[in-house]
């Protein structure tokens, strides 16, 4: 079983020292940096904008994995691409034309991701599969960190894995929400490639980041 990539969500970092926190998780061995962008409209929380992503970009050369929980979403694509996002993930419900949005992301030279909320069926993106690089399965309802893992999403991961493999597509499956060393193992067994972990990465402070990341990654062994 392949070891998963770990993408710590900076939503759980110390916002007063975000640059230092990004450097710390980079040094601790993370694979990607997950940036949760919330607008207080599509989800009931407000986080950061493209200027913060731009300010953080010099602190790490790792992949910036930007998850846009905003609606309407199209107007923000160019700003986050210019700020330094490498992957831009959107929710199909956040704009009237998800296919056009995905094409726009790729037109900006970025990898395109689509996120599925717990109540969103995987069949809803059947006609996007040939145009995306990433599927983000939300294992909590989006909007806040620190929520409990919704186990029904494991079946969704398994079904997506089967669909992707049968079609021979190069799409990574990412999971976000309530991921810890225990649930991480279940996600990887179901077919996940990338694990987003906020609380599980940042708990205990900087001295524990490397061990926390190793514990999450070890779930794939």
In CATH, what number is assigned to the domain containing residue 95?
3.20.20.70
pLDDT(208) > 80: yes
Q: Please report which confidence band the pLDDT of residue 219 belongs to, taking 50, 70 and 90 as the band edges.
A: low
* CA dist., res. 170 & res. 31, Å (int): 18
Active site residue 176: yes
| Pairing outcome for strands 63-69 and 32-38 | parallel
Task: Give the model's pLDDT for residue 136.
Answer: 98
Q: What is the pLDDT of residues 72-120, one digit of tens each?
A: 999 999 999 999 999 999 999 998 999 999 999 999 999 999 999 999 9
Q: Please report which confidence band the pLDDT of residue 147 belongs to, taking 50, 70 and 90 as the band edges.
A: confident
Indicate the average pLDDT of the chain.
95
Q: Please report which confidence band the pLDDT of residue 180 belongs to, taking 50, 70 and 90 as the band edges.
A: very high
Give the residue-averaged pLDDT of 39-53.
Answer: 94
Is 15 annotated to bind a ligand? Reply is no
125 close to 99: Cβ distance less than 8 angstroms: no
Task: Give the model's pLDDT for residue 112.
Answer: 98
Task: Give the model's pLDDT for residue 21.
Answer: 98
* CA dist., res. 178 & res. 196, Å (int): 9
Give 196-211 as a 3 state SS string. Answer: EECHHHHCCCHHHHHH
pLDDT(200) > 80: yes
Task: Give the model's pLDDT for residue 116.
Answer: 98
Task: Give the model's pLDDT for residue 1.
Answer: 55
pLDDT(221) > 70: no
Is 131 annotated to bind a ligand? Reply is no
> What is the secondary structure of the chain as a DSSP string?
-PPPEEEEBGGGS-GGGHHHHHHHHHHTT-SEEEEEEEBSSSSS-B---HHHHHHHGGG--SEEEEEEE-SS-GGGHHHHHHHT-SEEEE-GGGSS-HHHHHHHHHHTT-EEEEEE-TTS-GGGGGGGGGG-SEEEEESS-TT-SSPPP-TTHHHHHHHHHHHHHHHT---EEEEESS--HHHHHHHHHHT-SEEEESHHHHTT-GGGHHHHHHHHHGGG-
209 close to 202: Cβ distance less than 8 angstroms: yes
Is 41 annotated to bind a ligand? Reply is no
Active site residue 51: no
Give the residue-averaged pLDDT of 153-166.
Answer: 98
Q: Please report which confidence band the pLDDT of residue 143 belongs to, taking 50, 70 and 90 as the band edges.
A: confident
Of these residues, 31, 39, 176, 193, which one is catalytic? 176
0.85 exceeded by the pTM?
yes
Q: How many domains does the chain have?
A: 1
Of these residues, 31, 36, 74, 133, which one is catalytic? 36
Is 36 annotated to bind a ligand? Reply is yes
Is 144 annotated to bind a ligand? Reply is yes
Task: Give the model's pLDDT for residue 133.
Answer: 98
Domain span at residue 121 reads: 5-220
Is 199 annotated to bind a ligand? Reply is yes
């Amino acid at each position: 079983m392949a070891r998963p990539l770990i993408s710590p969500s900076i939503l759980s970092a110390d916002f007063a020292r975000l640059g230092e926190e990004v450097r710390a998780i980079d040094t601790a061995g993370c694979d990607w940096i997950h940036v949760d962008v919330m607008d207080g409209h599509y989800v009931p929380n407000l986080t950061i904008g493209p200027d913060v992503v731009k300010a953080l970009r010099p602190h790490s050369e790792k992949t910036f994995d930007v998850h846009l929980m905003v609606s309407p979403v199209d107007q923000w694509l160019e700003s986050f691409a210019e700020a330094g996002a490498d992957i831009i993930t959107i929710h199909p419900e956040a704009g009237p034309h998800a296919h056009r949005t995905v094409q726009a992301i790729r037109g900006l030279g970025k990898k395109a991701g689509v996120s599925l909320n717990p109540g969103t069926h995987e069949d809803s993106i059947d006609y996007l599969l040939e145009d995306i690089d990433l599927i983000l399965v939300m294992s909590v309802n989006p909007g806040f960190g620190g929520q409990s893992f919704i186990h029904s999403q494991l079946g969704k991961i398994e079904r997506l894995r089967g669909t992707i493999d049968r079609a021979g597509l190069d799409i990574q499956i990412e999971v976000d929400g309530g991921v810890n060393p225990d649930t991480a193992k279940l996600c990887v067994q179901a077919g996940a490639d990338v694990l987003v972990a906020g609380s599980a990465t940042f708990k205990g402070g900087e001295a524990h980041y490397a061990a926390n990341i190793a514990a999450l990654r070890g779930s794939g062994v």
